[in-house]
Structure 1
Amino acid sequence: MLDERSTRGEDTRDRIKQAARRLFADRGLDAVSIRDITREAGQKNAGSVNYYFRSKEALIAELITDIAAILEVGRNRRVDAMEAAGGPASMGEVLDILLDLSDRTSEGIPADGRRFIDRVMASHSELLFEAIHIDLDTATRRCVVHLRRMMPALPEIVTGQRIRLAMLQAFAFISSRPSAVANPALWPEGWGEELARRNLIDGIEGLLRAPMSEETRRHL
């Protein structure tokens, strides 16, 4: 009986997560209420979301963690292969892993999961930065270690800011891709194509490698 009850509870939990992910992907995080999620999941008890997840914020965090876990598997494989071959040979090689938008790193993520992450990147990137502090982000951390090693010698406060600026640029670009594909006339030519991704990699490398100006140094 306990096993049956536990199974039913897990099924309900999964239905709530699937419903929430779908709604967040379609409407955005702020436009979806707990009541919307409860209704979409087919739950009669208005307190179901809080019962299983404590809060809307905790539910969002778990959805991010689920997707991050899948992404990290693919990224870790690529980092393993790069290091086994004696790499990285360049900063661009590391950035290519972090900015891999292909199916090889997102296999197993449902379509609404990708759209959900795009929404998070576009409007709530701080939630992703929080997720980076969990154990699931080993590939991301490994990549950042390599990037730091290849950056010029800078004060730690400047290095940390540049890493964060690079990630914000990456989030903004990735979250813009669906719109660029759907409405190409509203974006610079080729924004939804591989050229733009490679251009971003070059731009981020320039940001990370640039010497610190005297003007910036005066503000330390």
Structure 2
Amino acid sequence: MRKDTAATRKRIIDTAERLFAERGVDNTSLLDIAKAAQQKNRSALQYHFTNKQGLLDAVLDKHAKGIAEYRVTMLDQLESEGSFSLYQLIEVLVLPVAAQLDDADGGHAFLRIHSQLMTSERYRELRAHRDKDATDIQRLNIMIVRCINTNNPEIIGARLLLMGALMIHGLAGYLSQADRISRPIFLHAIIQGIVDLLQQPDSPDPRDLPVDL
């Protein structure tokens, strides 16, 4: 890729990242990004990314590679030691993402965007395809599931969904509270909270729950 082409692509990604985080993904158009990135029209964005989802994918990819590499390194270390706790597995989940709190090149924006996408029906397919390609998360989830005291696939799915939500929404929420709560205390709270969620007793038969639930 030519240097000027790479520079244009990076400028568009960085601009999109900032606007998506500040205004919201749904409230930011390709035209908004083109103007802020000093592109005369949307053709440059469509040339590089095809559409808004392609651009959003590129914004997430900006951070995903580093997170995955960090996570794989931690997993390799745990497996080389031969034994590990569920708490250590959840550290592998959380700490690489929490490192974005120190990333001056859009780390905070990444957390805010990721938090938005977790509740967006519009980008459900984008999340699904990214999850399918995230071999580090697939590897980690297999190890985590072995520590869950249930074989019910619906219960496992519910807990894994809540696990991801607690991590992403928690870290995004921390951005506005970092001056009030120390990071080690907050990260421990997230990690331990996920561990407690995963280790809770097997859910009762839904037929035994009160009707008003």
TM bracket (short chain): 0.7 to 0.9
1-structure distance, mates of 2:65, 2:191 = 24
Out of 58, 63, 74, which is 2:59 matched to? Answer: 63
**For residue 86 of structure 1, what is the amino acid of its counterpart?**
G
Match of 1:205 in 2: 195
Gaps of 5+ in 1: 185-189
**Given the superposition, is the C-alpha separation of residues 213 and 42 from structure 1 closer, same or farther in structure 2, using an over 3 Å criterion?**
closer
Write out per-residue CA displacement over residues 104-129 of structure 1, whole angstroms, 9 at most, x where no aligned residue. Answer: x559x852421222112322125555
Out of 65, 86, 91, which is 1:91 matched to? Answer: 86
Match of 1:155 in 2: 152
1:11 deviation in Å? 3.2
Out of 157, 167, 171, which is 2:168 matched to? Answer: 171
Instruction: Compute the TM-score of the two structures, normalised by the length of structure 2.
Output: 0.82
Residues 1:122 and 2:115 aligned together: yes
Write out per-residue CA displacement over residues 70-121 of structure 1, whole angstroms, 9 at most, x where no aligned residue. Answer: 111111111111111113x210000011111688x559x8524212221123
Instruction: Compute the TM-score of the two structures, normalised by the length of structure 1.
Output: 0.80
Match of 2:75 in 1: 79
1-structure distance, mates of 2:24, 2:104 = 15
1-structure distance, mates of 2:208, 2:195 = 24
**For residue 172 of structure 2, what is the amino acid of its counterpart?**
S
2-structure distance, mates of 1:46, 1:68 = 26
Secondary structure of 1:133 counterpart: helix
> Is the 2:31–2:41 Cα contact (8 Å) retained in structure 1?
no
> Is the 1:21–1:112 Cα contact (8 Å) retained in structure 2?
no
Gaps of 5+ in 2: 119-123
Greater CA drift, 159-168 or 29-38? 29-38
The count of residues paired between Structure 1 and Structure 2 equals: 203
Residues 1:18 and 2:17 aligned together: no
1:13 deviation in Å? 2.0
> Is the 1:99–1:170 Cα contact (8 Å) retained in structure 2?
yes
> Is the 1:95–1:201 Cα contact (8 Å) retained in structure 2?
yes
> Is the 2:14–2:106 Cα contact (8 Å) retained in structure 1?
no
Residues 1:43 and 2:39 aligned together: yes
2-structure distance, mates of 1:102, 1:53 = 25
> Is the 2:17–2:109 Cα contact (8 Å) retained in structure 1?
yes
Percent identity of the aligned residues? 25
Out of 170, 190, 195, which is 2:185 matched to? Answer: 195
Match of 1:187 in 2: none
**For residue 83 of structure 1, what is the amino acid of its counterpart?**
E
1-structure distance, mates of 2:3, 2:203 = 60
Secondary structure of 1:98 counterpart: helix
CA RMSD after TM alignment: 2.6
2-structure distance, mates of 1:204, 1:69 = 24
Write out per-residue CA displacement over residues 41-90 of structure 1, whole angstroms, 9 at most, x where no aligned residue. Answer: 22113322122211112100121123111111111111111111113x21
The 4+ residue runs of structure 1 with deviation greater than 6 A are: none
> Is the 2:31–2:42 Cα contact (8 Å) retained in structure 1?
yes
2-structure distance, mates of 1:155, 1:65 = 33
> Is the 2:94–2:167 Cα contact (8 Å) retained in structure 1?
yes
